[in-house]
Amino acid sequence: MSDMDSLFLRIIAREVPADVVRENDRVIAIRDINPQAPTHVLVVPKKRYRNVGELAAADPELLAELITVAREIAEQEGIAESGYRLLFNTNADAGQTIFHVHLHLLGGEPLGGLTGGPLNG
């Protein structure tokens, strides 16, 4: 595991400071240090799984908990009604740079389509 891979474990251990939005015994949610939207929170399981596929296979209940926590944070942040995006990057071609699965919660402004054009659905 490289230093970059262990970043979330170091945040969980309080070795690296982070703006913690929510935490329980299985999940921590922190504000992204390079936000891509007015609300950009990372929801991270405390147990390390490389990506969302690995998490889904090993612990589908924990995957559901990440989504539930993200929904609760969207409500807390006041973006649930206007809309928000949940995003997992899976592996390098998708832009995953920290290989400890994490869910991006983005919102607070119109986000547009995923490829720059309108998105239907």
Active-site residue list: 102
40: tokens are 């950009």
State the DSSP code for 44. E
Sign of CA dihedral 52, 53, 58, 59: positive
How many CA atoms lie within 13 Å of 70's alpha carbon, on the beta-carbon side?
A: 25
> Measured in Å, how far apart are the chain's first and last C-alpha atoms?
38
